Amino acid sequence: MAMSRTAMLLLLAGGMLMWGRASVHAAEGGIETLTGEVVDLACYIPHPATSTGNGHRKCADTCLKKGLPMGLLTEDKQVYLLLEDHSNPKPYAQLREKAAETVTVEGTKAAQGGVQGLVVDAVK
């Protein structure tokens, strides 16, 4: 029985979709070391031009102490949502005291729905 052209295209598209998803997940999971500025995402996401550096330190410090989300802004302008490792919360808590500072963080990259994050294992 011959497969219709539409069925063949659907099968091919499904295979490509599954391969693409596997490629994304294969890139996740390894320990990474990233360096960047600790930013409060409540300010940085809507106002990136004015929400970094020493001029924003006091505001960022206040936001992070309130428990607002924090991120790591790398030199190449990538932003990672910093995530607590529930079995090792101390390194993440240390970062809450480093608003607007450049730090080096070790952790596991994770991505979901277009958001990239880093589960914090250590602060260097």
Residue 25, CA atoms < 13 Å, CB-side half-sphere: 6
CB contact at 8 A, 102 and 54: no
Q: Decide if 111 is inside a domain.
A: yes
The arithmetic mean of pLDDT across residues 50-62, rounded, is 96
Least confident of 11-15, 55-59, 62-66, 91-95: 11-15
Domain count, the chain: 1
- Write the CB contacts of 24 (distance below 8 Å, at least 6 apart in sequence): 111
Q: Decide if 11 is inside a domain.
A: no
Confidence of residue 28 (pLDDT cuts 50, 70, 90): low
Domain that residue 108 falls in: 31-123
Confidence of residue 30 (pLDDT cuts 50, 70, 90): confident
The pair of structure tokens assigned to 91 is 């390194």
Confidence of residue 97 (pLDDT cuts 50, 70, 90): very high
Q: Decide if 19 is inside a domain.
A: no
Q: Decide if 20 is inside a domain.
A: no
Please, what's the b/e burial string for 14-29 (b: 16 or more CB within 10 A of its CB; e: otherwise)? eeeeeeeeeeeeeeee
Q: Decide if 13 is inside a domain.
A: no
Please give the pLDDT value at position 25: 39
- Partnered with residue 84 across adjacent β-strands are 120
Q: Decide if 97 is inside a domain.
A: yes
Radius of gyration from C-alpha coordinates of the chain: 19
Q: Decide if 2 is inside a domain.
A: no
Q: What is the pLDDT of residues 101-117, one digit of tens each?
A: 999 999 999 999 999 99
Q: Decide if 5 is inside a domain.
A: no
The arithmetic mean of pLDDT across residues 69-90, rounded, is 97
